[in-house]
Amino acid sequence: MTTALISHPDCADHVTPPGHPEQVARLAAVLNALEGMPLTRVTAPLVADDDLLRAHPQTHIDAIRAAAPTEGWRSLDADTHMSSGTLTAALRAAGGVVRAVDMVLGDEANNAFVAVRPPGHHAERETAMGFCFFGNVVIGAKHALEYHGLDRVAIVDFDVHHGNGTQDLVEDDPRILFCSTHQSPLYPGTGAAHEVGVDNVLNVPLPEGTGSKAFRDVMERLVLPRIDAFSPQLVIISAGFDAHMSDPLAGMNLTTEDFGWVTERLCDVASTHCEGRVVSSLEGGYDLTALGASAAAHVKVLEERGR
């Protein structure tokens, strides 16, 4: 088996206003960086309504559909905008994670990277925000639990911004462990260490300027042991690369090599507990050069471990 790369051209039809950091060029940078890798390339389907409803109420789904413009932009808040292609892109993004879960749990691939946009980890149960519309990784996790019958799924988020949406969607579900490292203070202002859900949330806020040594230390000392103790049957990664030192939206100082290292360590835990089953989905990363290089380092490890 190999590593699956799941994407869709529709994700480039989510067009944000000029100057917006969550731009079409982000996905192109990632896909270009992965060109030539021996990956199984798969088309992301539209997510099924049943899968959306595991994370969001019908009222939220209806509101997003109703907000979709036929031309120009519609702004849901100061950061989150819809163009005529946004709804389909968002449905592909969530559907891509579900397809990845199906492939990994169905032994069609050892692991998978879902290269899609818009991202998802800021989307709360009934609120689109922070460039996000649906909780992509949570939709995948709930699909693994409800459709495939798993008992324990771990979500690990190393995006520089706290995944407030992911936390909102899972903090009452003990079947899902959510671990997040993130810069604090920073948007969206959540993710304090005392936010623990039903003892299924581990937040590790990090100060501005945090670099490789401190990041690796908290991963080794806090995050990886917590995942190990949880003994997940599937590991899902919210792969945001905006903690890179070159990223314009934050102030952490990780290097490209750090993303390869953390991927190795998460794959080690997955190898111990769930036969290496890892699904990773793109979240943030706004310096195009750093984004492409970091995503390539991440996927290179997945590909090597997926052979």
Cβ contacts of 71 within 8 Å, gap of 6 or more: 84
Residue of 26, 142, 47, 25 lying closest to 96 (CA atoms): 47
244 annotated active-site: no
Whole-angstrom Cα distance, residue 115 to residue 40? 13
Torsion of CA 204, 208, 211, 217, to 10 degrees: -20
Q: Do 198 and 171 contact (CB within 8 A), yes or no?
A: yes
Bridge partners, residue 182, by sequence: 205
Give residue 133's identity as a one-letter amino acid code.
F
Backbone angles phi, psi at 31, to 5 degrees: -65, -35
Whole-angstrom Cα distance, residue 121 to residue 252? 19
Cα 227 to chain centroid distance, Å, stands at 17
Bridge partners, residue 281, by sequence: 114, 238
Give residue 85's identity as a one-letter amino acid code.
G
Q: Do 285 and 26 contact (CB within 8 A), yes or no?
A: yes
Q: Do 215 and 206 contact (CB within 8 A), yes or no?
A: yes
Considering the candidates 8, 121, 122, 273, report the single residue annotated as catalytic. 122
Cβ contacts of 55 within 8 Å, gap of 6 or more: 125, 134, 135, 138, 139, 142, 169
Whole-angstrom Cα distance, residue 21 to residue 274? 36
Q: Do 112 and 119 contact (CB within 8 A), yes or no?
A: no
Residue 218: in which H helix or E strand, if any? helix 212-218
Known catalytic residues are: 122
